[in-house]
Structure 1
Amino acid sequence: MKLICDGLDLSDAVMKVIKATSQKTTNPVLEGIKLVAEDDTLTLSATDLELSMQKSIKAEVFIDGETVVPGKFFAEYIKKLTNEQIELTCNEKNMLEIKYTDSTGNIQALSAEEFPNIKRLENAESFEITSKDLKSLITKSVFCVSTEDSRPILKGVLFEIQDKKIKAVALDGYRLAMVNKDLKDNSSNFTCIVPARSLNEISKLLEDTDEIIKVHVTKNYLMADVNDTRIITRLLEGDFINYKQIIPTQFTTEVTINKAQLEDALDRASLLSRIDRNNLVKFDITDKLMMLSSKSDIGDIKENITVALNGNDLTIAFNVRYFNEALRVINDEFIKLSFTVASAPCILKSSETDEYVYLILPVRVV
């Protein structure tokens, strides 16, 4: 293998695919990045058998070939050569020579024959969505997934595709996110559960544009091509929780409130709760006022916000982190909070659209 490529292009590709290398493995090839040179293209691939990433860059290829380089070391090395034209030459013993300006480095690589074949999806279902909508769909839902290994199915986001619409659902036992977006097209109606880690990597590649992203889905895998980078992820297997039965539909207290005012007030009110590490903030809702309060051994904080109330007065408490993480991804000026009793969940949604719904369980106050 022999080629010349731009250092900045190579560094960008390496930094993207390195995310798919395995960090905990006894198989060194899974820690590596596969390089394939052919047809004036250098293709980089990495996989941990759950997540695979590929990216191709332009190169002047003199001799076709392939090898697997140690991922972490290669990434650190190439990152320091971004302003250089880089020549890569690999001999029959998989010794990779890296030339730049008047300098040379050598890396002992591995045989590409040891590298796992990355799945090619055949007979796949598909859907099309704009880049900005897919990014928003992921951002507004993925933070609600569980991090507990005891319930692995909840470490992913449920995608429900139906009639040119997609719904993303995530929950961790304390809160739930449900986000709706329009699709440009879909081949059929289907569902899948995508690991949160994979969605986070897809989101990093997406831009806030109207570019159409086509996503392919089979029984076990999902594939997306974003800006010359291909991501293939294994789907989670099993039945997702019947989330519809846990979302209340009737309420006795509804509040419309300015989102920015609520976010700022919660941030200040939570200062003391963060010190005590209980993250508890109490909501006292009356006719035209919502008072947020927290206290600890060093004092107390009370924040008053003017609201539009429909229904009964209510006192209820929450882990403020769950509220803050939801508010952080919302762009609406006004939101609606809906309650029943102090022991039942709160529903947070847009005051104007059905784009998102968040369910947050309360905390019992003694």
Structure 2
Amino acid sequence: MKFQVNRDVFSEAVSFAVRLLPQRTTQPILSGILLEASDGALVLSSFDYEVSSRTEVSADVEEPGTALVSGRLLADIASRLPNAPVQFSTDEGRIAVRCGSAKFTLLSMPVEEYPTLPQVDERTGVVPAEEFADAVAQVTVAASRDDVTPVITGVQLEVGETSLSLVATDRYRVAVRDIDWDGGTTSSAGTAALIPARTLSEVGKTFAHSGTVAVSIVRGDDRELIAFSADKRTVTSLLIKGNFPR
């Protein structure tokens, strides 16, 4: 693999990819960022079986390929690079990063052991990004932080005909906010999804200035998840199982 990418674009993409990675994990492989270079684009992904992030940026790809590298280490390096194009190349399990006078060599992680990211094809509806971010910020403060009762550590999204309700409670207080919802030609009214408040909070901040955010609620097999997409960025999260308090 060999490619060149704009320094600011790369740094922002890495920051997005590592934002939802766990601080500690029993499986070191899940602390990595997957880099996929091909056809003039670089895709950066992260996944810990519960939350995934994926973003695509333009890159000058000389040799397509895939590499897996420590996410926190790459984010630390990306934030310190000088103002110059970033050059990546791989050779026998090592990844060389060059940017101006700065040079780094990283050990790659085994790509074949990395889990397959969840795929989301159809969207359930669309919400205005700024309004959605404001609603998330207002509602998540009421979610419980006590992991003993997981269902109240989340925010319940309830889809109506033309509105989306966000509801959170810690059993002592309740926060509710309704925003505009465009379900397109599909009828999704009555659909509900319970999302971890921490994840939703990060999603709100990430997509606050994206114009609109596409929302996909997927239920199939043994996985129930929700995806948020905008500006070639996607975040997925497993839903919390259980019945939200009435």
TM-score (norm 1): 0.63
Matched residue, 1:63: 63
Matched residue, 2:16: 16
Secondary structure of the residue aligned to 1:148 is coil
Question: Residues of 1 paired with 2:197 and 2:173: CA distance?
Answer: 16
Matched residue, 1:129: 127
1:73 and 2:65 are equivalent in the alignment: no
Deviations 1:167-200 (A, max 9, x none): 1110012211011112123531211101112111
Equivalent residue runs for 1:50-129 within 5 Å:
50-91=50-91, 93-122=92-121, 126-129=124-127
Matched residue, 1:204: 205
Deviations 1:282-332 (A, max 9, x none): xxxxxxxxxxxxxxxxxxxxxxxxxxxxxxxxxxxxxxxxxxxxxxxxxxx
Partner residue of 2:138 out of 122, 133, 140: 140
Question: Residues of 2 paired with 1:81 and 1:226: CA distance?
Answer: 27
Give the structure with higher Rg (CA): 1
CA contact (8 A) 1:33 1:44 kept: yes
Unaligned runs of 5+ in 1: 243-366
Question: Residues of 1 paired with 2:89 and 2:209: CA distance?
Answer: 38
Equivalent residue runs for 1:160-179 within 5 Å:
160-179=158-177
CA contact (8 A) 2:155 2:197 kept: yes
1:126 counterpart letter in structure 2:
T
Change (3 A) 1:207 1:103: closer
Matched residue, 1:153: 151
Secondary structure of the residue aligned to 1:20 is coil
After TM superposition, what 4+ stretches of structure 1 lie above 4 angstroms from structure 2?
none
Deviations 1:225-273 (A, max 9, x none): 123221011111111101xxxxxxxxxxxxxxxxxxxxxxxxxxxxxxx
Partner residue of 1:230 out of 226, 229, 234: 234
Question: Residues of 2 paired with 1:212 and 1:32: CA distance?
Answer: 29
CA contact (8 A) 1:20 1:48 kept: no
Secondary structure of the residue aligned to 2:226 is strand
Question: Residues of 1 paired with 2:42 and 2:162: CA distance?
Answer: 36
Question: Residues of 2 paired with 1:208 and 1:9: CA distance?
Answer: 16
